[in-house]
Every structure is written in C-alpha cells, then in structure tokens.
Amino acid sequence: MDCGVWVASGVWTNQMVDGRGGGGGVVSYESEHDLAMMVSEFMENGNGGGTDSRYSSDSDSGLPELVQLADKISFLRLVMDQFETDLFSVVNSLARSINERDLYFTHLGLCNASCIRYSLVNLLRLSGYDAGVCTSRWHRNSRVPGGDHEYIDVIRYNDVGGTERVIVDIDFRSHFEIARAVDSYDRILNSLPVIYVGSFTKLKQFLQVMVEAAKVSLKQNSMPLPPWRSYAYLQAKWQSPYVRKFDHDEQNRSTTPAEHNKCAGHLKRLHSSLQPEIEVERMVKPLHGDRRTTFDRRRYPNFQAL
C-alpha cells in the first residue's frame, strides 16, 4: 500500500496558488495524522481482506470489464498533441540522463524523490521549458482527509498570450497500487506511463478509469475501494492549492549517506522502469510526426531559464 505521507519543511513561506491557477492563502493541515487514521479505521472495519496474499487470480465475472478499461488506457496514452508528444519525449530522455551526481538532496526527512524532481526541473528549464516543482496541500473534508503531494508542472504558452499547465508526475503508477490485485489489473497498471505528461483534463480521465479498474479488481476478493484510492482523494493531489518552486532550499539540503542511498535507489528504479517507454515513444512519434517545439523567447518575455 502506498500510504506514506511526506511533509515538506519551510516551503510554505512562498506564495500559495490555486490548483486551477488562481490565488489562495496559506493553509494548515494534519495530512499525516488524517491518512494514518483513515488507514487504521479501514483495516479495523475488516476491509483488509482475509488473506496475507497480495495477489489474486482473475475471475470470469470481472475480466471483460477490465479488458474494456485496458482499451481506454491504451487510447488515452495515444491522445497527445504535438506539444505533449515533444514534452513526453524530452522528459523521458532527460530523466534517463540524470545520474547520482546530478541529484539535489533536498530534504532531511523521508525521501520522496524530491531530488529527482528538482534535477529534472533544472534540466527542463535549461532546455527552455517553464517548469517548476509543485507541492499541493489540502484540508480534510467530508470526502477526503487532508493530504499533500509533490509533482512537476510545465507552463504551456499559446499564440494569444494564454497559458496552460501541463502536469508531469514521475511516479505515476504508484498512485494506483492496490492490495491483492487480479492479474488483469496489474496488466492495466503496468500499461500506464511511468511518467505522466499531459493536461489535467486528460489526467482526470486516467484517474476515472483506474478507480473503476480498482473497484472491479477488489470486488473479485470482496474488498471495498480504500478511501486513499478514491477519485476524490486522487484528484485532490493535482487540483489542490499548491506552491511552485524552481530550486531547492539550501537550508534543507542533506548529503548524508542514508539520504543519498534513498535518492539513488529511487533513480535506479525510475531508470529501470523507463526502458520499456522507449518502445511507446516509437509508437507515438509516427502518429504526430517528429517535429520539435522550439522555444521562442520573444513570445515569452517574462520567462528566464535558470
């Protein structure tokens, strides 16, 4: 289960911005406590399943529906305009190029791959993209507990002066891991992009499909959907108010051997997972051509790469 919650220190001295681009204020929250209580209550109510096995076999009743959902994931992966296609290729290429010496060891607490995100943002900005590391946080309410999430965004500029955020999440599959998944669900999970690159609108479509798939898989074992895998909780990760940063805090920098090993471990797993994505890129490129989006500084006078 992916139940860990990382709390950034010192980041909330920056300006808070709304998950849809508007303004907002600094928030207080108890995300770690909320999530721990949610998991505890879920398990105490007998929802953890009746076996220690994490995996289960498909049953005939659930398989057809999962096949349809798998087709939807395959379709969504191919729905990319030229900008997203180019950015997807650039992000995957840059992520594969990062080595241990490039990593920023940014936090003294639990390692959550922040070092990789800041390294990737630095490379994207050097490549001409307006990229930043975003840390979202949200209050608990009647539907979801408080929480936080860290991801990358890239600002896309259009010809009439407008902007759109493109979401980049470097550990996309981990958001949908569930206990005792049936084989068909695991195949759907592994068909997701390792790194998500796309609009928030398309992201919500991925979330909807994966929540439905999780429900079908869990139903085969008479298990309900955990609240931390609900659509409302998943959507809050990318839609909530967030802080956007371009560089790490020097005061939070850590170079201890333990933290270095954690970051290096994250990077090795990312590199290993990205190898199959090369084949996906080869499939997508012919559909959109192989053009490269050039960065025109005259069109974006307020942006300066670091």
**Every domain of the chain and the residues it spans:** 55-288
Contact indicator for 134, 14 with CB cutoff of 8 Å: no
Structural element, H or E, at residue 156: strand 147-157
What values do phi and psi take at 140, rounded to 5? -75, 150
**177: pLDDT strictly greater than 70:** yes
Q: In this structure, what token pair is assigned to residue 301?
A: 């006078």
| pTM check: above 0.85 | no
How much is the mean pLDDT over the chain?
77
Give how far Cα 13 sits from Cα of 26, 137, 304, Å.
Answer: 8, 14, 22
**82: pLDDT strictly greater than 90:** yes
Range name among 14-18, 211-215, 229-233, 277-281 with the lowest pLDDT average: 14-18
Structural element, H or E, at residue 132: strand 130-138
Check residues 249 and 182 and name the one with the higher pLDDT. 182
State the average pLDDT over residues 183-207. 96
Contact indicator for 164, 131 with CB cutoff of 8 Å: no
Distance, CA of 53 to CA of 3 (rounded, Å): 18
Check residues 46 and 300 and name the one with the higher pLDDT. 46
